[in-house]
Amino acid sequence: MGLFSMTKMVFRSVSRKPATLMYPVRPAKSAAAFRGRILIEPLKCIACRKCEKSCPTQAITVDVKVRTWQIDRLRCIICNCCVEDCPTNCLSTENIYTNPMTVREGIEIYTVPPKPERKKETVDNSKTEE
């Protein structure tokens, strides 16, 4: 009775276009809500270390003295906690993921503005690595 009951699905698959998303050829689908990676607007950061404390994996290290905000991409689980806890909303989650890397260097360091003066003393700091 149930011989070849898969037939219907097989023929449906053949008659339709393949379901494949053709990823590298076509860009990846991703939902707006997808938590890809944490972004920081270093300029807004006040190095309050709230994010560091709330991070369940200690991916964030904020150095108050040297004024750096550092994240280890190979440690972050993109849980969004830091984003929620940041008082200045300088953190956000992007729906683009971190690219694979060939050396274990997930750490990105951003310089944040020095504490007292809140001037627009633009430090070029969009960087070190990626």
Q: Which residues bind another protein (CB under 8 A)?
A: 1-10, 13-14, 16, 18-24, 28, 30-35, 54, 56-58, 72-81, 84, 93, 97-104, 106
Which residues have C-beta within 8 Å of that of residue 89, sequence separation ≥ 6? 44
**CB neighbourhood size of 106 (10 A):** 15
Segment contacting ligand SF4 by CB under 6 A, of 6-14, 26-34, 41-49, 103-111: 41-49
Distance of CA 36 to the CA centre of its chain: 4
Provide the sign of the torsion angle of the four alpha carbons 72, 30, 85, 41, taken in this order: positive
Q: Is 108 in the site for ligand SF4 (CB under 6 A)?
A: no
Q: Is 77 in the site for ligand SF4 (CB under 6 A)?
A: yes
CB of 79 to another protein, least distance (A): 5
